[in-house]
Amino acid sequence: MASTSYKVIGTRPIRHDGTDKVTGRAQFGADIQLSGMLFGAILRSPHAHARIKSIDISQAESYPGVHAVVTGTDLPEQQQKVAHLGEGDVNLYHLSQNVLARQKVLYKGHAVAAVAADDIHIAQEATQLINVEYEVLPPVLDVLEAMQDEAPVLNDDVRTDSMAGEESKDPTNVAKHYFYEKGNIEKGFEAAHVVIEREYRTSTVHQGYIEPHNATALWNQDGQITIWTSTQGSFMVRQQMADLLKLPESRIKVVPMEIGGGFGGKISVYLQPVAALLSKKSGRPVKLVMDRASVFEATGPTPGSYIRVKMGADREGKLTAAEAYVAFEAGGFPGSPVVCACMCIFACYDVPHGRINGYDVCVNKPRSNAYRAPGSTHAAFAAESVVDEICERLEMDPVEFRLKNAAQEGTRRVDGVQFARIGMKETVEAIRDSEHWKSSLEGKYRGRGIASGFWFNVGLKSSVTAMLAADGTVSLLEGSTDIGGTRASLSMQLAETLGIAAEDIKPAVVDTDSVGYNDVTGGSRVTFSTGIAVHNAGLEMRRQLIERVANIWEVKVEDVQYEDGKVRGPGGKEFTFRELAAKIHATGEPITVKGTSGSENQAGAFGTHCVDVEVDPETGKVDVLRYTIAQDCGTAIHPAYVEGQMQGGAAQGIGWALNEEYVYDEHGAMRNATFLDYRIPTCCDLPMMDTIIVEVPDPQHPFGVRGVGEVPIAPPPAALVAAIYQAVGVRMRELPASPPRLLHQILQR
Amino acid sequence: MVPLVYIPPLLKSLTNGQEIVEVSGKNVREVIQAVEAIYPGFAARICDGDDLRSGLAVTVGTKLATNGLREVVDTDSEVHFLPAISGG
């Protein structure tokens, strides 16, 4: 790690929200209890693809204990309009149809109607009294099948859109086409000594957050709406609610509750508008909480994919060309992260000639959503697996290959953009120099793999308010939902700026009426961007304190210095921060400052992972023996949280690689919508993962912060399949490399 | 020196295959207008009224522009038009 002169940054204070979390006092969305509150239940489609002919709610409405029933017709009609959500856009027509279906249901679990009743049991019983007449249509579940001309078309309004305009006149499942090109791809492959072309498949995978979606709404008689919910972006919920309900944002207040995981899956709204409609109809607050099956079947997982990659290298192991065809299953509505996959797929390397085609394709699965470095894991699995084969063909050390081809500052990606200061090469060097890589791996059916990954990281907008208290503490109001320890990382940045202890900052994540605008907690942006806002607030507080002290001492402002949590003036005058805070209220106005950010961009983040596995050739089970993560984290504000992010991302990537998948039957019904059957890794499945924090500070942040949350999920699948190949000689080109699938390949060998 | 506008590959049909177009302009709007003057039809694919098309982002140099069409372009800047991305 880089050595710095920081006093707070780089230390490991106890998290500010720790006590509430470990004592169970932290308030999550499902904990909300309001006077007169009703409980809601959702009726969901039993079919993967069907036309809704009619919905009869009369029996449910008259059921004792029922106070309101709503369907899609209770939502205002939407035109084809795109709403800008800061990070990403959303088609409001599709979003509204996803919240409550009108003409068609596009996946099993698609919400059709909702009931509010005195208790959850009555509500659930009443949903069964809603009579929906369906015309069942054939589903299409596979991305390549959905692209065929004869495939059932999900959305009549979808045409293939690209930067060149509409590429299709008739309705189609192919919603988007992306295309990137750099240099002369044919020339690049002609110069290659080795060319490898392979096809890869990944399954639909869920983020697996433990806390289900929830929303409690109160539509007050004065027209004001309050929503208590688990979300990654309270301001995004407010905006989506306003757009969907066609109300001004000022009528809506969103209170973000503690969040039990999101990973990209808690940005879109599902229950919030429905709870609001039920509250409006019933005149009472209404709480909706999903069960696990609904979370799997009706919220946005990361899409399944088909990727074809072709890469070439010369005799010395220098890449000459790279080409990819990437097709993602968007789910029922367009909007998969295929574009991110296209822009990530060769980003780790300096590729002189490249071409990438990407397709966003509708299938009868839930509308996909972001999942930690969306699209990058799929992309890394394919590209890094081809790199591993090139290394084998060239008999070249995979570390040496990566060092020879690593993207650096100034490298131009295939999509055209040049990198700023990045640390790809440094992560490979860190693995090369690690005790893990230097150690020997012995034993039968054991293998070692390595892979790298990239994620952009974003900046976007944040606002905070800081208030000085007379006891020398500072309250920090922020609007960025704390998913990964950002209350601590932001408090530490404010403490560092003010020269006080992290424990003297009192952070709180507040509602949308109580702090300025904040973009979503996503894109690994909060410690970076909200951190800049916090730093700006700290600088402003320092400025005001200097002014106040100059007034107290009756000296010029220029004669007062703020340093290390103290103010010093002429003649040896000095106040500590705490002493000064005690004088503030007696000498003038309270000190309340704000800080904002929004014009800064992050440089991307890279990680390189190394893994040892042992494969049981009789069962196909893979045991992860040892795992090391090297990641460029910029300046690590709270190293323990940085390590936690690296380990958590890798754990999810391991689950994706070895076990996790949606299993569908031929009717499009998910057959494993429980955590018993959808197998995420537990602590029993994973070794303690070693972390190497590589610090290449991002010059665009005052402390050099670089987002850390997303990139660690990208390399694991490619690293694991490389290790499996070393262990048993089988190249897995379809994820997950689960025991039955791997055993099948071993037996076929 | 003048700004270099990287033409998105799918729009190279509008620029006779030109990958990079050198035009003058103090901000992204002026740069787009300058390309439009040489290659009509370009602006319609990039802009929607007085804004970038939805789902589109612009980078100037290595930085994602946060001021849209008003983003200042230096004489040695590269300008790229890319799809907007989102994270998790």
Distances (CA, A) of A437 to A337, A342, A397, A609, A632: 33, 30, 12, 10, 18
Q: Does B6 touch chain A (CB under 8 A)?
A: yes
* CATH code that applies to domain A305-457+602-748: 3.30.365.10
Say whether A524 and B63 touch across the interface (CB within 8 A). no
Q: Does residue A2 register a pLDDT over 70?
A: no
Name which CATH class applies to A32-137+211-260+266-298: alpha beta
Q: Does A165 touch chain B (CB under 8 A)?
A: yes
Q: Give the whole-number percent of chain A exceeding pLDDT 70.
A: 99
Q: Model confidence over A656-696: pLDDT tens digits? A: 999 999 999 999 999 999 999 999 999 999 999 999 999 99
Nearest CA in chain A to B53: A163
Say whether A417 and B62 touch across the interface (CB within 8 A). yes
**What is the number of domains present in chain B?**
1
Nearest CA in chain A to B78: A417
Q: Does B86 touch chain A (CB under 8 A)?
A: yes
3-state secondary structure at position A309: strand
Q: Does residue A203 register a pLDDT over 90?
A: yes
Say whether A374 and B86 touch across the interface (CB within 8 A). yes
According to DSSP, the residues that pair with A412 across neighbouring strands are: A418
Give the residue-averaged pLDDT of A36-61. Answer: 98
Distances (CA, A) of A307 to A144, A203, A328: 10, 12, 8
Q: What are phi and psi of A320, to 5 degrees?
A: -110, -25
- What are the tokens at A689? 């993962």
Query: In angstroms, what separates the C-alpha of A180 from chain B's closest C-alpha?
Result: 6
Burial readout A356-379 (b: 16 or more C-beta within 10 A, e: otherwise):
bbbbbbbbbbbbbbbbbbbbbbbb
Same topology for domains A18-26+459-597 and A305-457+602-748, yes or no? yes
Q: Are A383 and A350 in contact (CB under 8 A)?
A: no
- What are the tokens at A607? 């990680």
Q: Which of A340-349, A682-691, A724-733, B58-67 has the lowest mean pLDDT?
A: B58-67
- Tell which CATH classification among 3.90.105.10, 3.30.365.10, 3.20.130.10, 2.30.110.10 matches the domain A18-26+459-597: 3.30.365.10
pTM over 0.90: yes
Nearest to B82 among A82, A181, A415 (CB): A415
Give the residue-averaged pLDDT of A299-311. Answer: 98
Tell me what pLDDT residue A86 has.
Answer: 73
For residue B88, being part of any structural domain is answered with no
Q: Model confidence over A692-745: pLDDT tens digits? A: 999 999 999 999 999 999 999 999 999 999 999 999 999 999 999 999 999 999
Q: Model confidence over A547-597: pLDDT tens digits? A: 999 999 999 999 999 999 999 999 999 999 999 999 998 889 999 999 999
Q: Give the whole-number percent of chain A exceeding pLDDT 90.
A: 95
Nearest Cα to A385, choosing from A32, A23, A734, A683? A734
Q: Does residue A3 register a pLDDT over 80?
A: no
Tell me what pLDDT residue A4 has.
Answer: 63
Tell me what pLDDT residue A45 has.
Answer: 98
Distances (CA, A) of A392 to A170, A388, A395: 46, 6, 5
Complex ipTM? 0.94
According to DSSP, the residues that pair with A174 across neighbouring strands are: A361
Q: Model confidence over A455-471: pLDDT tens digits? A: 999 999 999 999 999 99
Tell me what pLDDT residue B62 has.
Answer: 83
Say whether A339 and B83 touch across the interface (CB within 8 A). yes
Candidates A160, A163, A408: best to mutate against B (most CBs of B within 10 A) is A163
Query: In angstroms, what separates the C-alpha of A1 from chain B's closest C-alpha?
Result: 26
Tell me what pLDDT residue A87 has.
Answer: 72
Q: Give every CB contact of residue A373 below 8 A, 6+ residues apart in sequence.
A: A340, A344, A453, A455, A649, A710, A711, A713, A714, B87, B88
Q: pLDDT-based confidence at B85, cuts 50/70/90?
A: confident
Give the residue-averaged pLDDT of A65-90. Answer: 90
Average pLDDT of the residues of chain A = 96
Give the residue-averaged pLDDT of B43-68. Answer: 90
Say whether A419 and B61 touch across the interface (CB within 8 A). no
Say whether A87 and B6 touch across the interface (CB within 8 A). no
Give the residue-averaged pLDDT of A64-84. Answer: 94
Domain ranges (residues) in chain A: 18-26+459-597, 32-137+211-260+266-298, 305-457+602-748
The DSSP code for A249 is G
Q: Does B70 touch chain A (CB under 8 A)?
A: no
Here the CATH number for the domain that contains residue B68 is: 3.10.20.30
For residue B12, being part of any structural domain is answered with yes
Q: pLDDT-based confidence at A1, cuts 50/70/90?
A: very low
What is the arrangement of strands in the sheet containing A561-563, beginning at the earlier edge strand?
Answer: A561-563, A566-568, A574-576
Q: Give every CB contact of residue A163 below 8 A, 6+ residues apart in sequence.
A: A178, A179, B8, B10, B11, B45, B56, B81
Q: pLDDT-based confidence at A70, cuts 50/70/90?
A: very high
Say whether A522 and B86 touch across the interface (CB within 8 A). yes
Strand pairing category for A462-468 and A592-597: antiparallel
- What are the tokens at A519? 């973009």
- Residue B15 belongs to what domain range? 4-83
The DSSP code for A31 is G
Question: Which residues numbered 355-374 in A keep a CB inside 8 Å of some CB on B?
Answer: 370-374
Distances (CA, A) of A689 to A157, A536, A624: 47, 36, 10
